[in-house]
A and B are shown apart, each in its own frame.
Chain A
Amino acid sequence: MKIIRDDFPILSVLENGKPLIYLDNAATTSKPLAVLNAVETYYRMDNANPHRGVYELGARATKAHEDSRKIVGDFLNASSDEIVFTQNATESLNLIAYSYGIEFLKKGDEIVLSVAEHHSNLVPWQRVSKITGAKLVYLYPDNMGHLTEEELDKKITSKTRLIAVAQVSNILGIEIPIDSIVRRARNAGAVVVLDCAQSIPHMIVDVKALDVDFAVFSGHKLYAPMGIGVLYGKKDLLDKMPPFLTGGDMIGSVHEQSSTYAEVPRRFEAGTRNVGGEVGLAAAINYLNSLGWENIKNHEKELMTQALKGLTDIPHITIYGDPSPDKRHGVISFNVEEVHPHDTASLLDSDGITVRAGHHCAQPLMEYLKINSCVRVSFGIYNTKEDVDIFINSLKNVRGLMGYGS
């Protein structure tokens, strides 16, 4: 897939005077020309406020808006009216927490999260817990980073009303046993919120086959522009939820003292939509589909295998979670013994390699792993074997540069 690098203009900038080796794809991805051009064309040809003008240009904007919704729906195997556009995964999760969690949970209920959740799938539930009295219960991974059947049995009980989990953790990179979780949720009568922010760039997410109740992701991690996110919700659930943000476009009728609300999905889309972002997201999905998901998976699996092998071969490196490539998608987190992650990242950066160091918006997992922070390398469709080689070679020098023998 090397040829596609030309589709991504940013990959030819310099990083610290060196060719950029972009390995922070889990934070955000680079955008292909297909996406940049689609957005630009929208603003050059079709820009208007959707749903508001009876004129032709307005109709084109409305069509761009609704066509994008259809493309996202098809991508997730959902129908269009189950797709709500938001600004990012975080807003999608807040929407569910507010309009479902606060509305339908109560004292005595339990909300089950994994301790590996990103703050965006954690802090909103703390608020729900505080307001409703529902209890937050955490799933803890085993020492390979997996959620075991025993752990699921123990935590998902008849009190469980909602389970919110990332399909792939942004630190461990490990896919959770979502089928087991959904099965237990069905028995418990709980709804399942799937945070696909880190899974969807690497695999097809079929919400119907998974039978999850809600799913969320961010466009910017899927090669689309920033400022556009998605919430999928089963129609019957969305139908019974009150609105979250209120204002223009999401209303039925407004009187001085009271209002009625529009049907879903519009009920959840207040104010002028980011149609440019939606068009960009649709273009990104089309682009990925045209590459072919089997190709993407195979390519990324190769990179993952190579990187894990390289990392395990370097002494004084701790990898967090199962180091077998089959279980992993996109990310590997690790630390270099005696070297602070920020120093590791800065030294890699001096070779043009961008990785992330910090708590990665997952402090509870850091506490659980008894580390303060770690380094994360994460791959995208445009990364190459050479990128991985350069990364591994640079990493080999880190301890030496920090004054350690090896």
Chain B
Amino acid sequence: MITLGHYLLVSGILFTIGFAGVMLRRNIIIIFMSLELMLNAANLSLVAFSRFRIQANGLPDYNAQVFVFFIITVAAAEVAVGLAIIVALYRARQTTHVEDISSLKF
């Protein structure tokens, strides 16, 4: 029997994977993908919650789904801007590696 907990766990794992990716990978593009993973993990939980909380009118709580909608939009916009920055970086430095962009420090 599938409970709310299962979904939350899956989303949690996904979130963690994403975070691990941010911490472990050095390729900025992949880091960016990992960030997407984290956002979607959040989405999964949200949807799960919305499904779990049946409203009085017997429908799922659509507020959460609206929020998911917003998150997806924001994520998309973020990807656009982020990739633009990355491209600019690549033009300037011919690299997408985090080690290569550590001139500002201390």
* A and B co-occur in one complex: no
Binding site for A on B (CB under 8 A): none
Binding site for B on A (CB under 8 A): none
